[in-house]
Chains A and B, each alone.
Chain A
């Protein structure tokens, strides 16, 4: 199989849960200048299931908002529409992931948490967007699992047998990695480039054409969360660090120490959150 064929296969991802119809409606509304957060919130709140899922996500510890967010329009004001839209678009994907790959789900939540902590420290504008990018950075892996199940199984098998990075085996077998695949899909769904590019380049942040700071943060958060052994992302190895990206964030030892400590605390809270989700599932 080559890149083009995969591209075609992903063009109409059928077995993946379809995008909630509400998304196109929301896109239209956002294009309209008169739309307010309250109006958008009202539309979303008509769907109670979606609303409760959404509120649970925005109140979970990886965004780390001090006060409880109780309405969708508040969530839009506080987190921005990009974040809310991304959470809606990916909500069904996350359901699939919770059911089929808890390890990857935990890895994603952990990466989101780390990314948020680091983004705040670096005073990046709208750190919640960076958390969200962390949340969906391995989107490509979920797509591979559901769209090309046989190939994916083979990839996992080879990865384990030979003790390789899963990413290496993806490239060997498919000629494309999960970063690129995730980026493709995210773009197809019209997610903002600020999120698409970090997904696409999280394993080669040095080549990222834009949003280099966010991409570097996701790259390092992925390393950090794997280093801590939280969750499971397909192989147990800490990935190599791109030093070009590291130059952009370059924390002192004392900073990293504080980040680890802050992250550790949040990860405990996160376990609570995942336990709660498992109980509901």
Chain B
């Protein structure tokens, strides 16, 4: 699942969540496949962001997951001893992993191990 600015949406992408205007109006549901027309219409209605299935777009400046996690670790390198910040780092890492691999990925991984 990935959230992308609507500018980067392409026909063939499949919505993972409903398309919503900034005012909260639902325009179409999850599992809808995007078409050229639909994207135009959503733009016109003011939709800014779409949540789509998989990870179809590498956003400008976005790093691959492994590198993202390495950078995260580096940013925290001065505060390794703080348990609250340690927990924050773990949460962010897990959030990114699940975002890329799908919700529930870490849980499944854990249950496989045990």
Task: State yes or no: do A and B come from one complex.
Answer: yes
* Interface 9-mer from B29-37, B76-84, B104-112: B76-84
Are the C-beta atoms of A228 and B84 separated by less than 8 Å?
Answer: no
The answer to whether A264 touches B95, judged by C-beta atoms less than 8 angstroms apart, is: yes
B101: min CB distance to chain A, Å: 15
B84 touches A246 (CB 8 A): yes
B44 CB to nearest chain A CB (Å): 15
Name the one of B7, B49, B77, B92 contacting A227, with C-beta atoms under 8 angstroms: B92
Q: Is the CB of B5 within 8 A of A272?
A: yes
Contact yes or no, A241 B85, CB < 8 A: yes
B71 neighbours in A (Cβ, 8 Å)? 229
Contact pick for A240, options B24, B49, B79, CB 8 Å: B79
- Give how many A-B residue pairs fall within 8 Å (CB-CB): 78
> Are B7 and A272 in contact, with the CB atoms below 8 A?
yes
What is the distance, in angstroms, from A115's C-beta to the closest C-beta of chain B? 16
Min Cβ gap B4→A in Å is 7
Instruction: Let me know if B91 and A238 touch, CB within 8 A.
Output: no
Cβ of B39 under 8 Å from chain A: no
Contact with A along B46-82 (1 / 0, CB 8 A): 0011000000000100000000100110111111001
Is there an interface contact between B74 and A227, defined as CB atoms closer than 8 Å?
Answer: no
Chain A residues 176-209 with CB under 8 Å of chain B are none
A39 partner residues in chain B, CB cutoff 8 A: none
Question: Knowing A269-B49, A272-B7 touch, does A237 contact B77 (C-beta < 8 A)?
Answer: yes
Separation of A256 and B74 alpha carbons in the complex (Å): 21
B79 touches A256 (CB 8 A): no
Instruction: Write the nearest CB–CB distance from B72 to chain A, whole angstroms.
Output: 7
B91 near A268 (CB under 8 angstroms)? no
- Residues of chain B contacted by A261 (CB below 8 angstroms): 95
Given that A265-B49, A272-B49 are contacting pairs, would A256 and B88 also be in contact in the complex, using a CB cutoff of 8 Å?
yes
Question: What residues make up the interface of A, taking CB atoms closer than 8 Å to B?
Answer: 61, 66-68, 165, 223-224, 226-229, 236-241, 243, 246, 253, 256-257, 260-261, 264-265, 268-269, 271-272, 275
A–B Cβ pairs within 8 angstroms, 16 of them = A66-B23, A66-B24, A227-B75, A227-B88, A227-B89, A228-B92, A238-B75, A241-B79, A243-B84, A246-B84, A253-B87, A253-B91, A257-B95, A265-B49, A268-B4, A275-B7
The 6 closest A-B pairs by CB, nearest first: A272-B5, A268-B3, A237-B78, A269-B48, A238-B75, A268-B49
